């Protein structure tokens, strides 16, 4: 349920109403927008007398929120959420490019790529240290050493790090990571999501291979219900019968998610297509669709990449793409 307050209500009256609602056993989410204050009621609202609340002098309107997701529901927060990572802002008109290799392979590789993508305009760098691989015989990342190499690259470039956590047990190693990525395969690892909800750190939550938007939002809800509101969603392609691409990029997810939630939406055209040549056109389409950012795999030597070389752009290709992305942003602004 949401309670919209009248404009200019005093803090005292607002606090009285909130205390009364809390006494009914509800958690109250307060969204103080420029023009209105919205109280989001979380919990069992069956005992709340809607007519009584609506009749209060300070209340403008009361609405039931029928969706099962509450914390990430745009009805709770009419304004876009802006996620801050140091000086970098994502959402609410702030567009971000995240780029880097699929996996961290060596100091030379990650530093080289980080410098190149920074020069091209990326504001965050990506790089997997713990890699979920379909085959147990494939390179699974440099693990803790990979995180150390990411920190070296951050020191050299100033770019904050986005990297995937697969297992709660490894969480202590991620203390100094800037953004924790939850991979597609872990989107419904509810124990992991709950644990990330206790952190004061932004989370990049990728859509599962065969998950609906509602399921994606329910996973965001797990993180947010535990207290961490700094969630960014990522559309990275879903499984369909399309045969020539790794996945199908569901770009309609971008405007649909913007309608349903206030959280930023990032698009990953690399995993969505699996083919480097298709990454620039789909990145531009994603930008035009209103995405709040892109996450793109870039490798200095794709032919010899230990993971996802076929979908990785070379630094010069990323530079060219980043310029076109900026042009699209200007057109849709």
Q: Which of 112, 123, 206, 246 binds ligand PEP (CB under 6 A)?
A: 206
Q: Which of 271, 293, 302, 313 binds ligand PEP (CB under 6 A)?
A: 271
Q: Which of 184, 253, 294, 325 binds ligand PEP (CB under 6 A)?
A: 184
Least Å from the CB of residue 272 to ligand PEP: 9
- CB-wise, 118 or 236, nearer to ligand PEP? 236
d(CA 286, CA 288): 5
Q: Which of 236, 246, 258, 262 binds ligand PEP (CB under 6 A)?
A: 236
Contact partner, 151, from Mn ion, ligand PEP, none, Cβ < 5-8 Å per class: none
> Is there binding between residue 102 and Mn ion (CB under 5 A)?
yes
Least Å from the CB of residue 208 to ligand PEP: 9
- CB-wise, 120 or 166, nearer to ligand PEP? 166
Full strand arrangement of the beta sheet holding 27-32: 27-32, 37-42, 2-5, 59-63
* Candidates 4-12, 110-118, 146-154, 183-191; binding stretch for ligand PEP (CB under 6 A): 183-191
Contact track, ligand PEP, 273-312, x by CB under 6 A: ----------------------------------------
Q: Which of 41, 81, 102, 294 binds ligand PEP (CB under 6 A)?
A: 102
Contact partner, 315, from ligand PEP, Mn ion, none, Cβ < 5-8 Å per class: none
d(CA 62, CA 75): 11
């Amino acid at each position: 349920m949401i309670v919209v307050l009248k404009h200019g209500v005093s803090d005292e009256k607002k606090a009285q109403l909130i205390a009364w609602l809390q006494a009914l056993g509800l958690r109250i989410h307060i969204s103080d927008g420029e023009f209105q204050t919205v109280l989001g009621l979380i919990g069992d609202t069956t005992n709340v007398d809607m007519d009584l609340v609506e009749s209060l002098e300070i209340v403008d309107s009361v609405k039931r929120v029928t969706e099962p997701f509450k914390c990430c529901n745009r009805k709770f927060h009419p304004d876009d959420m802006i996620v801050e990572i140091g000086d970098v802002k994502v959402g609410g008109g702030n567009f971000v490019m995240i780029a880097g290799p699929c996996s961290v392979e060596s100091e030379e590789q990650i530093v080289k790529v980080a410098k190149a993508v920074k020069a091209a305009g990326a504001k965050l760098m990506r790089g997997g240290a713990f890699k979920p691989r379909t085959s147990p015989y494939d390179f699974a990342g440099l693990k803790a050493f990979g995180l150390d190499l990411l920190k070296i690259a951050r020191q050299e470039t100033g770019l904050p790090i986005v990297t995937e956590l697969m297992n709660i047990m490894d969480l202590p190693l991620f203390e100094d990571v800037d953004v924790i990525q939850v991979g597609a395969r872990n989107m419904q690892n509810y124990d992991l999501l709950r644990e990330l909800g206790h952190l004061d750190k932004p989370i990049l939550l990728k859509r599962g291979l065969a998950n609906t938007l509602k399921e994606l939002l329910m996973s965001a809800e797990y993180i947010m219900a535990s207290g961490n509101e700094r969630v960014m969603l990522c559309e990275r392609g879903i499984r369909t019968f399309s045969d020539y691409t790794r996945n199908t990029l569901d770009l309609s997810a971008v405007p649909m998610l913007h309608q349903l939630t206030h959280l930023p939406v990032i698009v990953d055209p690399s995993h969505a297509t699996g083919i480097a040549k298709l990454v620039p056109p789909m990145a531009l389409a994603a930008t035009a669709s209103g995405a709040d950012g892109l996450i793109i795999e870039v490798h200095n030597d794709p032919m010899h990449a230990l993971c996802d070389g076929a979908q990785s752009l070379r630094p010069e290709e990323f530079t060219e793409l980043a310029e076109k992305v900026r042009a699209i942003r200007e057109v849709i602004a």
